[in-house]
A and B are shown apart, each in its own frame.
Chain A
Amino acid sequence: MISVGTSLCQTEVDESMVLHQPAHSEVVVEVERLLMAYGRRVIQREVSFRVRRGKIFVIMGGSGSGKSTLLRHLIGLQRPLAGHVRYGATDYWASPPEVQARLRRRFGVLFQSSALFSAMSLFENVALPLRLYARLPEPELRQLVRHKLALVGLQGFEDYDPSALSGGMRKRAGLARAMALDPEILFLDEPSAGLDPISSRRLDDLVLRLRDETGASVVIVSHELPSLFALGDDGIFLDAECRRPIAQGSPRELLEHCRHPTVQAFLRREPAERHG
Chain B
Amino acid sequence: MIAERAPSRLDGAAGQDPDAPPSWALRAEPGGARLELSGAWTLGSALPSAAEVAARWRAQGAGVLIPELVAVTRWDGALLAFLLALAQTVRAGGGTFDERGLPDALRRVLRPPEPAQAHPPPPAPRGLRRVGEWALARLTSFNAALELLGEVVLGFFRLLRGQARLYADDVWQVFSASSAHALPIVAIVNLLVGAILAFIGSVQLLQFGAGMYVADGVAIAMVREMAAVITAVVLAGRTGAAFAAQLATMQGNEEIDALRVLGVSPAEFLVLPRVLALTLMTPLLYLYACALGILGGLLVGSGMLELSAASYLDRTIGALNTHNFVLGASKSLVFGALVALSGCHYGLRAGRNAAAVGQAATTAVVTSIVGVIAVDALFAVCANALGV
- Please report A residues at the B interface, Cβ cutoff 8 Å: 1, 3, 6, 39-41, 72, 75-77, 101, 104-105, 107, 109, 111-120, 124, 128-129, 132-133, 241-242, 275
Contacts and interface: CB of A to CB of B under 8 A. Distances in A.
Q: What 9 A-B pairs come out closest when comparing CB atoms?
A: A115-B254, A115-B258, A111-B254, A40-B122, A119-B170, A101-B263, A109-B261, A113-B254, A115-B255
Interface residues on B, range: 20 to 34
A132 B262 contact: yes
B165 interface: yes
B253 A113 contact: yes
Interface string B262-281: 11100000000000000000
A3 B114 contact: yes
- By secondary structure, the A interface counts as loop
Contacts of B44: none
Given A39-B122, A241-B117, A117 B258 contact: yes
Given A105-B263, A117-B255, A275 B114 contact: yes
Given A40-B122, A115-B254, A77 B261 contact: yes
Given A3-B114, A41-B121, A120-B169, A128 B262 contact: yes
Interface of B: 114, 116-117, 121-122, 165, 167, 169-170, 173, 249-250, 252-255, 257-264
A256 B262 CA distance: 40
15 contacts: A77-B257, A77-B260, A109-B258, A109-B261, A113-B253, A114-B254, A116-B255, A117-B255, A119-B167, A119-B170, A120-B169, A120-B170, A128-B167, A128-B262, A132-B165
A123 B121 CA distance: 43
A124 to B, nearest CB: 8
Contact of A104 (B165, B169, B253, B263): B263
A107 B257 CA distance: 13
Contacts of B258: 109, 111, 115, 117
Contacts of A40: 122
A41 B119 CA distance: 10
A116 B173 CA distance: 18
A44 B191 CA distance: 60
Nearest to A177: B258
Nearest to B170: A119
A118 B167 contact: no
